[in-house]
Amino acid sequence: MQNQIIDQLTTVSTKSHEIMKSLGKINSSTVRKLTDLQFDFISMSMESGIDQAKSLSNMKNVEDIFAAGSEFASEYNEKLMGITRQTVEIFTESGDEAENLIEKAVASQVVSSKQAPAKVAKKPAAKVATKKSAQSQG
């Protein structure tokens, strides 16, 4: 009986370890994608700033400066919205992966618990009754 318990605990520990490794891979992948996206954002910001400075340095008319500034702001906002969409997609994808992993783990646990024999050591009723009667007398 003791070996059976040790085997069951080993199996549960191994499965838990595998699940945690899989979650770690999902998290690592998510962080890597977000880091890449942050570098893209920084590059886009720097390039946009440089392009805007070059364009504005040649302008002398105030109306042209405001028009160019408005155009750069509009383009920058579009690019920023694209990065924001990608960020949401990354989080959604990683959330879905984690959810699927947990669902599979729970499903496999339910299946394995149904397959495991349910052996519960039961105390004889007489011993329980004896303890209760001894407590009520004391």
Tens digits of residue pLDDT in 78-126: 999 999 999 999 999 999 999 999 998 888 877 766 665 555 445 555 5
pLDDT at res. 99: 94
Task: Calculate helix-pair angle for 62-115, 2-57, nearest 10 degrees.
Answer: 170
Q: Are 94 and 30 in contact (CB under 8 A)?
A: yes
The distance from CA 5 to its chain's CA centroid, rounded to whole angstroms, is 32
Comparison of pLDDT for 122 and 33, the residue scoring more: 33
Give the pLDDT band of residue 127 (cuts 50, 70, 90).
Answer: low
Q: Look at residues 15, 14, 30 and name the one whose alpha carbon lies nearest to residue 86.
A: 30
- Over residues 54-82, mean pLDDT: 89
Q: How far apart are CA 8 and CA 10, in angstroms?
A: 5
Angle at 5 between CA 118 and CA 20, to 5 degrees: 100
